[in-house]
């Protein structure tokens, strides 16, 4: 099959289902077909992604292709440059199909906060695909692309992957360059992969990993070939099962699916033991100080002068800023900016931000201690399977709870993968496998058990 044939097949699939699912904000048909023809002509298939059509979350810059972060304020933004990951995909001869829907500026857990439209879960159109990378996860699950990139600040790759029954990997902080990823909370953000299976995950991770001089937080360490981890062998692997992730608030069928996965590991010769990560319950609350604080600072740049959309009627400069930001940002983004500005204001800094940073250290220490003894830690990816559209939009705290299992991992900067491990009420359930820093290879090996 040629790249053009494959790209056409995927575009046909988009024609069939996109009207219902609405995973894409931008579809670059012509660009994709042109790219595929060029690749066929060159006939250089030495690179693993050559000719394979993929989609990119709309907070990752793509040269000459609109990048909106699903926000009205960036509704007309066409980046003059590629994010490092976009550049790497192109250098690998991947075909870029378009940009996927998301919660505005990656703030949310259901893609209902998109400033443009909602995306639906391909398994049940009345349910959310998760978020914030809901467009990427839904597109992969519905066969509208072969792979997709997402970003994960507090679970935004793993949770939608879990809700849509696909594989999502958040690499270690620093493994993949964030250059060209529109910043939400810079100390937590990380770009990763959403794929149909673990094999594709290893292939795409190979393509995007590595040090980048344009991102000072990317780490200069050798990148292994992740496809070498695609071996069915967990014999002797030490697996920790933290009791804090299986208690109250976790749906019964989700818990059972995770315990069944633990038994599968044991039957293959791994050792599973219950462990405790005692500071888990504080991670979510500390996250909702740290992430909004960083967001309030990062989003200060949208003033109507330098990027995106500018208000039309205004009296003076201050009025221009105010109107642009009032009209351009949606309600959840405004909520985060207010929370973050409050937490950072003088007099409150010590009480909130500093305290939250201390909690973050404790959460990280829990993991450090566990990883002295265990190779990986497993848990549910999310407390429940995909919820109904509209079910949580009225209550931000309920929405925030859907990331309770994924957020601690970002706080500690660790890699984690979500892999389908069962069903709850007919909807897919994800198993989260957390690894040591820069040990993506081991979580891929463990996840391969479920391939």
Which residues contact ligand GLN (rule: CB under 6 A)?
Answer: 106-109, 132, 152-156, 184, 291, 403
Least distance to ligand GLN from the beta carbon of 25, Å?
Answer: 16
Catalytic residue, chosen from 36, 57, 151, 364, is 57
Residues 6+ away with beta carbon under 8 Å from 168: 133, 137, 150, 152, 157, 158, 160, 161, 162, 192, 193, 194, 195, 417, 418, 430
CA–CA dist 81, 45 (Å, integer):
26
Q: Which residue among 86, 156, 229, 379 is the active-site one?
A: 156
Give me the least distance between CB of 155 and ligand GLN, in Å please: 5
Compare residues 85 and 320 and give the one whose CB is closer to ligand GLN: 85
Choose the catalytic residue: 132, 133, 151, 162: 132
Contact in structure between 386 and 251 (CB atoms under 8 Å): no
Q: Which residue matches tokens 């405790």? A: 276
Q: Please say which residue, 139 or 272, places its beta carbon nearer to ligand GLN.
A: 139
CA of residue 123 relative to chain centroid, distance: 19
Nearer to ligand GLN, 288 or 367 (CB): 288
Question: Does 402 qualify as catalytic in the annotation?
Answer: no
Q: Is 132 a catalytic residue?
A: yes
Closest CA to 288 of 412, 189, 397: 397
Which C-beta is closer to ligand GLN: that of 35 or that of 409?
409
**Smallest distance from ligand GLN to CB 337, Å:** 13
Q: Could you tell me the smallest distance in angstroms from the CB atom of residue 138 to ligand GLN?
A: 16
Q: Of the two residues 185 and 204, which places its CB atom closer to ligand GLN in the complex?
A: 185
Q: Closer to ligand GLN at the Cβ: 3 or 136?
A: 136
Rounded to the nearest whole angstrom, what is the least distance from the CB of residue 403 to ligand GLN in the complex?
5
Query: Would you give the end-to-end CA distance of the chain in angstroms?
Result: 24
Catalytic residue at 209? no
323: tokens are 């109107």
Across-strand partners of 423? 428
- Contacts of residue 51, defined as CB under 8 A and 6 or more positions apart, other chains included, come to 2, 3, 6, 7, 36, 39, 40, 45, 93, 94, 95
Q: How many CB atoms lie within 10 A of CB 244?
A: 20
Closer residue to ligand GLN in complex, CB, 51/130:
130
Q: How far is the CB of 347 from ligand GLN (least distance, A)?
A: 25
Nearest to 173 by CA among 199, 159, 154: 154
Q: Which residues pair with 275 in a beta bridge?
A: 242
Q: Cβ 376 to ligand GLN, closest distance in Å?
A: 21
Choose among 259, 235, 386, 294: nearest CA to 107. 294
Contact, 195 vs 201, CB < 8 A?
yes
Asked if residue 103 lies in contact with residue 109, where contact means CB atoms within 8 angstroms, the answer is yes
Catalytic residue positions, numbered:
57, 132, 156
């Amino acid at each position: 099959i040629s790249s053009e044939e494959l790209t056409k097949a995927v575009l046909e699939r988009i024609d069939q289902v996109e009207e219902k699912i609405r995973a894409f904000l931008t579809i670059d048909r012509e660009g994709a077909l042109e790219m595929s023809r060029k690749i066929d002509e060159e006939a250089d298939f030495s690179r693993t992604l050559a000719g394979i059509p993929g989609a990119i979350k709309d907070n990752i810059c793509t040269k000459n292709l609109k990048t909106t972060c699903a926000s009205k304020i960036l509704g007309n933004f066409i980046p003059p440059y590629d994010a490092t990951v976009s550049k790497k995909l192109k250098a690998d001869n991947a075909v870029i199909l378009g940009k996927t829907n998301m919660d505005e500026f990656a703030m949310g857990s259901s893609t209902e906060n998109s400033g443009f439209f909602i995306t639906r879960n391909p398994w049940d159109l009345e349910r959310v695909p998760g978020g914030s990378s809901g467009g990427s996860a839904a597109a992969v699950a519905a066969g509208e692309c072969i792979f997709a990139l997402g970003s994960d600040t507090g679970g935004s790759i793993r949770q939608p992957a879990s809700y849509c029954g696909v594989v999502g990997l958040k690499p270690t902080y620093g493994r993949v360059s964030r250059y060209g990823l529109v910043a939400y909370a810079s100390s937590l953000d990380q770009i990763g992969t959403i794929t149909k299976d673990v094999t594709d995950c290893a292939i795409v991770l190979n393509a995007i990993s590595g040090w980048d001089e344009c991102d000072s937080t990317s780490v200069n360490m050798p990148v292994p070939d992740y496809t070498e981890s695609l071996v069915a062998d967990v014999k002797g692997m030490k697996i920790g099962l933290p009791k804090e992730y299986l208690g109250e608030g976790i749906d019964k069928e989700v818990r059972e699916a995770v315990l069944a996965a633990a038994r599968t590991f044991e039957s293959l010769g791994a050792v599973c033991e219950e462990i405790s990560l005692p500071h888990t319950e504080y991670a979510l609350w500390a996250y909702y100080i740290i992430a909004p604080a960083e967001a309030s600072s990062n989003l200060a740049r949208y003033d109507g002068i330098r990027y995106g959309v500018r208000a039309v009627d205004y009296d003076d400069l201050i009025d221009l800023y105010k109107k642009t930001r009032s009209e351009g940002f949606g309600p959840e983004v405004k909520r985060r900016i207010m929370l973050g500005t409050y937490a950072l204001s003088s007099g409150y800094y010590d009480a909130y931000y500093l305290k939250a940073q201390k909690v973050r250290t404790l959460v990280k220490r829990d993991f450090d201690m566990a990883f002295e003894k265990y190779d990986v830690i497993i848990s549910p990816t999310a407390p429940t399977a995909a919820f109904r559209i509209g079910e949580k939009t009225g209550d931000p705290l309920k929405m925030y709870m859907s990331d309770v299992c994924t957020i601690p991992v970002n706080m500690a900067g660790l890699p984690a993968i979500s892999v389908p491990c069962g069903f709850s009420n007919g909807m897919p359930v994800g198993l989260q496998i957390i690894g040591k820093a820069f040990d993506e290879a081991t979580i891929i090996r463990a996840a391969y058990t479920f391939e």
